Chain A
């Protein structure tokens, strides 16, 4: 078994290299499955993202960690490769080749979609919280924040002094949202006209979860990524701004 230990040592030490190799093979398998099993109807990257999520579940279930498959020590490089740093670098790089005027004409629509996205998420989340017996304004706002993104929830909860349990629930709601956006976007895209830069920009503003939007659009049409990512990047900040202030006051006025 010394050989196994030796291999493990190399793979762990060169973790980012291991990650590129493993992800590369995963992507290759996904495109192969896409072509052979679905005749290209389900995009290869959609399958790759789904495999990624399944791996994340397996990793989380076996190690008890919070970083999916990256908690398996030989695969820890996947956490670095898919972490915020390289993700943001790659998202910005997708803007290369985009023309400025494609953004300029959609400024107002972008702002409208951001406001609609943030407020509707808070509304839906707060209603669900109420239905499940969390009837105080602090818990409702926090879970509403979670329905916005898994960052808005805990930030709002911390600002308002929500309980640990409610904050954890808000993170879970945000994770569910982000995962659903990743999986469903390529299938829903054609029904909601998500096939041009303008609608991608609106989609980013409405959904707001950067990881969900980034992955969902990648699996739909990689050309749309920079537009969706552009508005989504303002969403979490806006949510953190409105949650503990305006949204909380409105909810408190309604329920008390």
Chain B
């Protein structure tokens, strides 16, 4: 039944969030450290197990897949409930800080991609040097 899949997804998220909070407490910060990431790992592991043992029925899969397919609409709703006014009201300093932070982030993506490439040359998959001009 679809609810089995949805319940599995929800249980993974709840465990992940609790572990993330505990990790935050352990390192002394008031934030969730990697809760969503941990939940994703749990879901991947659980699905892998269930699929290999043949216990993952198609209806169960649909109970997870639905939430994955509703993802973009949820993101649109998230965008529509952002505090855009406050972002603009922050004035030139906030806007400049935001722009530069984004700019440096974009610029570093190819840099770090290459660092990793040279680290793992033995797994000759596609990491030819200089493939991206």
Q: Which A residues lie at the B interface, using CB under 8 A?
A: 19-20, 23-24, 26-27, 30, 45, 48-53, 55-57, 59-61, 66-70, 78-79, 81-83, 86-100, 103, 105-106, 108-109, 112-113, 116-117, 120-121, 124-125, 127-129, 132, 143, 146-148, 151, 155, 168-182, 184, 188, 192-194, 198-199, 202-203, 206-207, 210-211, 214-215, 218, 222, 225-226, 229-231, 233-234, 236-238, 240-241
Contacts and interface: CB of A to CB of B under 8 A. Distances in A.
A179 B90 contact: no
Given A148-B101, A222-B71, A129 B37 contact: no
Interface string B102-123: 1011111110110110011001
**B interface majority secondary structure:** helix
Given A230-B37, A231-B37, A168 B90 contact: yes
B31 A78 contact: no
Contacts of B105: 117, 120-121, 181, 203, 206-207
Interface residues of B, number: 82
B72 interface: yes
B82 A234 contact: no
B101 A124 contact: yes
Given A69-B80, A79-B77, 15 more contacts: A53-B80, A56-B84, A66-B83, A121-B101, A124-B101, A147-B100, A172-B87, A173-B97, A175-B82, A180-B99, A193-B109, A193-B132, A222-B72, A233-B35, A237-B27
Nearest to A133: B93
B113 A87 contact: no
Nearest to A214: B75
A241 B27 contact: yes
A98 B44 contact: yes
A97 B36 CA distance: 16
B62 to A, nearest CB: 11
5 contacts: A96-B61, A175-B94, A206-B109, A218-B71, A237-B31
A90 B113 contact: no
B34 to A, nearest CB: 4
Nearest to B123: A105
Given A61-B85, A92-B13, A143-B97, A177 B79 contact: no
Nearest to A54: B84
